[in-house]
Structure formats: C-alpha cells, structure tokens
Amino acid sequence: MNFFELIFKIKKRLIKFSIAEYIKGAWFARSMTKHGIIVVTGGKPAPRIFNDGGEIIVENCQFYQGVRLEVGRNAVIRIGNGTYLNRNTVVVAQEKVEIGKDCRIAWDVVIMDSDLHPISGRTLENKPVIIEDNVWIGCRCIILKGVRIGKGAIIAAGSVVTKSIPPDTIAAGVPARILTQNILQKNNV
C-alpha cells in the first residue's frame, strides 16, 4: 500500500472514528510485531499487550477498552482485517490463536489455547484456536483450546465452546452445542 492509498483509507475511516482513536490505536500497536491501521475506542482501562517472546500480527482492526492480548514464547496471535474485539476481551496464546477477517467479538469474551498450568500428574498441553472469517461471538463466551469455529458461525452469549463448530452454524450452551446448521442456505443468502 502506497502513501496516497493509506491517506485515502484514513480519510474514509475518519468519518467513523476520531483522530484521538487513531492515536490511541497507534500507541497500542507499537507493541505488535506487525499491524495495519488500529483503532482504539472507549475509555479506561486502555487495551494492553503482554508479550513473553511471541508474535502479534494484526491487520486493520478495532479494539475497545480493557482488551488484553497475552502471547507466550514463540506463540502467535493473528487477527484479520475488519475484526473488532469489544470491551474486556482476553486472548491468550501459548501456541497459536488465529481470528479471521470481519469477526465480531462481544465484551468479556475469553479465548485461550492453553490451560496455562498443568493438572497434577499430567503435562501441560496447548492446542491452537482457529476462528474463521465472519464469526460472531456473543458476550461472556469462553473459547477453549483446540477449537475451530467455522466461517459464518454464531456463538450465543454465555456459551463455553469446548469442541469445534462447523461453518454457518449457530451454537449455544455450556458446553456449546449446535442449534442450527447451514444458516446461510436457510435464509437464501
């Protein structure tokens, strides 16, 4: 992207976001390995990054107050273009967490690829979390290690996702179970 394309994109987005939100985004992005245009909206507490030697790669995204990104040694957090993480969302990667493009993640969501400590008598096991494009995750959901959420899926508020969810599916509950499949076909989209 050249300088003039960047200026055009910023001017287009200025209609929606203020200069202060871009400045907060630039300040937040300084701790990322690679990033696009970052916007930070809302008040305090500001979003935070805890990096123990991994990579954080974020395209053009929006973060709200209280977001925490925690990445362990040699781990990766990757967030796609157009995604937003709402208030107090926590993403923890000890291996890999990938969030696709145009995902909508509500407030107080926890996404973790690790238990962070071993259970007595067992070794600590980390498994990647993959959230594909256009996924909606409702408030206060928990996405646990080893889960893949398919493109276009919707996870209802308060769900605990312990197993993978197929594309174009609505899932809800503790643990989350599939309520409706092929939602795009049912709505003739």
**Helix residue spans in the chain (DSSP H):** 3-14, 19-29, 183-186
Q: Which residue has the higher pLDDT, 163 or 118?
A: 163
With bands split at pLDDT 50, 70 and 90, how would you rate the model's confidence at 135?
very high
With bands split at pLDDT 50, 70 and 90, how would you rate the model's confidence at 43?
confident
- Ramachandran assignment for 16, one of left (phi > 0), alpha (psi -120 to 50 degrees), beta (any other): alpha
- For residue 1, the model assigns a pLDDT of 63
* Tokens 């040694």 belong to residue: 73
Among 1.10.260.40, 1.10.1760.20, 1.10.10.10, 2.160.10.10, name the CATH number for the domain at 3-186.
2.160.10.10
What are the sequence ranges of the domains in the chain? 3-186
β-strand partners of 178: 171
Q: Can you tell me the mean pLDDT for 133-156? A: 97
* Global pTM value: 0.86
The torsion angles phi and psi of 47, rounded to 5 degrees, stand at -60, 150
Does the pLDDT value for residue 9 go beyond 80? no
Contacts 24+ apart (CB under 8 A), 39-46: 39/13, 39/63, 40/64, 40/65, 41/17, 41/65, 42/66, 42/87
51-61 residue pLDDT tens: 999 999 999 99
Active-site hit among 12, 44, 117, 122: 117
35 flagged as catalytic: no
The torsion angles phi and psi of 9, rounded to 5 degrees, stand at -60, -45
